[in-house]
Structure 1
Amino acid sequence: MHQLKGWQGVPVRPYSKLKGPSKGIYWQLYVILDIYSRSIMGWRIEDHESAELARELMDEAITKEGVDPNQLTIHADNGASMASHSVAEFLVNLGVRKSHSRPHTSNDNPYSEAQFKTLKYRGDFPERFETIEEARTFFAKFFSWYQYEHHHSGIALMTPADVHEGYAEAITERRAEVLKGAYQNHPERFVNKVPTPPTLNTEVWINRPSEEEMKESP
């Protein structure tokens, strides 16, 4: 069950390569995403991939959110930074559970893939970034928009901030009242039924375990 202002599960996209000013130059984008609310828990852009950077980002995000690490599962791809011994040891010491994408399965994390599709299909996403500072400025604006303005189809057309901050139930109730009023005023516009707003899923999964595996887990 999702804990408000906490995380149900956290995919870490340890890095996504952003094209720099010329061929062969890339900036590395690290992102932590709560899969329930689709909220951005942390991000950074650096000039190299590093297990230490990934570890620092997770530590900062956990501290900032004030979350009990024992409730977390980190899902990551199989990149060198997230598969490293230092990150694995760090997560074990925190009590954080860890899972990885299946080998050679690039779309094993649909939540991160959806976020990056939203990013790359925006008209203002540049082909290249001239400097790392330019990339950081662009993503600061993008993630602010994504968090507070983007009404996501996967979370009942709410913003990630709405869900993460615990406003989803109140928003759904207000929407239901508006729809009820519309039906009462113009029932002919509807098919013999009071319209209802979309609702959030009660739980979400990446690679959901079988019933037997769930019974065996502590």
Structure 2
Amino acid sequence: MCFLAALEAEGLLEVIDARDTAQLREALLSGHPEQIERAVDGGQVPLLLAVSDNGPQMRSHSTREFLAGVHIAQHFGRPHTPTDQAWIETLFGHVKGEWPHLEKIVDPGDLEAELDHVREQYNSVRLHASIGYVTPDDEHEGRGDAIRKARRDGLDQARQERLDHHRRSRGQ
């Protein structure tokens, strides 16, 4: 399951047992915001918050049980309001637009392998306008500011070199 893979990738599986309390688990399982709020006010903080649409797969009891078991709270966007999940709508739009072949893959193993490749490209190669044309990995690892500064410095230097060249060529 993607949630387990993500928790493992981020080193969070070990944290679950350390935070495990019956009160938190029951509050998350209930799905009632006020019960979850009482648990949080009592110092029982969920590991993560899953923000999703109101689709049946996310609203199902088995999904709620699983997420409660790994201490992930759920928050649902308003019905018929895709801007509540704008970040994921944008991600899906980019992935579907830039890698349209993914929708044609029918073998789950092939799809998983191809999604691994796309994830690597999206996070480590593709420059993202919303974070100043660096990769998410660059930003996440703290390299984004240095890359943007080096780019600005390079543009400033190139501009100065052009001005100097034109001044020399005109005899000024």
Q: Deviations over 1:170-212 (max 9, x none)?
A: 2122223212212322359xxxxxxxxxxxxxxxxxxxxxxxx
Q: 1:169 to 1:97 in 2, by over 3 A?
A: farther
User: CA–CA distance in 1 between the matches of 2:124 and 2:85?
Assistant: 23
Change in 2 beyond 3 A, CA 1:72/1:166: farther
Q: What secondary structure is seen at the aligned counterpart in 2 of 1:98?
A: strand
The runs of 4+ residues in structure 1 deviating greater than 6 Å are none
1:166 to 139, 142, 153: 142
The residue that corresponds to 2:36 in the other structure is none
Contact 2:124 2:135 in 1 (8 A): yes
Q: 1:185 aligns with which of 161, 165, 170?
A: 161
- Asked whether the equivalents of residues 76 and 101 of structure 1 are also in contact (C-alpha less than 8 Å), the reply is yes
**Offset, 1:90:** 5.0
Q: Which has the higher contact order (CA 8 A, sep 6+)?
A: 1
Which of 125, 129, 135 is equivalent to 2:111? 135
Q: Is the 8 A contact 2:102 2:114 kept in 1?
A: no
Residues 127 and 103 of structure 1: CA distance in aligned 2, closer, same or farther (over 3 Å): closer
Q: Deviation of residue 59 (structure 1)?
A: 3.4
Bigger helix share: 2
5+ residue gaps, structure 2 = 17-45, 165-172
Show CA shifts across 1:130-189 (max 9, x none). 42233223222222211111101112111111112221122122223212212322359x
When structure 1 is superposed on structure 2, of 76-85 and 88-97 the one drifting more is 88-97
Hey, what's the Cα distance between the residues in 1 that align with 2:74 and 2:68? 9
- Write the deviation string for residues 7-63 of structure 1: whole angstroms up to 9, x where unpaired: xxxxxxxxxxxxxxxxxxxxxxxxxxxxxxxxxxxxxxxxxxxxxx4xxx3233223
Larger radius of gyration: 2
Partner in structure 2 of residue 104 of structure 1: 80
Residue in 1 aligned with 2:49?
73
2:42 corresponds in structure 1 to none
Q: TM-score, normalised by structure 2?
A: 0.61
Unaligned segments of structure 1, at least 5 residues: 1-52, 189-218
For residue 83 of structure 1, the aligned residue among 48, 59, 62 is 59
> 1:75 Cα deviation (Å)?
0.7
The TM-score with structure 1 as length reference comes to 0.50
> Does residue 61 of structure 2 align to residue 61 of structure 1?
no
Task: Assess, with a 3 A threshold, how the Cα gap between structure 1 residues 149 and 102 changes in structure 2: closer, same or farther.
Answer: same
The CA RMSD measured in Å over matched residues stands at 2.9
Alpha-carbon distance in structure 2 between the residues aligned to 1:90 and 1:130: 26
Q: Which of 123, 128, 131 in structure 2 is aligned with 1:147?
A: 123
Tell me, yes or no, if the aligned pair for 1:119 and 1:125 is still in contact at 8 Å.
no
Query: Percentage identity across aligned positions?
Result: 29
| Bigger proportion of residues as strand | 1
Number of positions where the alignment pairs a residue of Structure 1 with one of Structure 2: 133
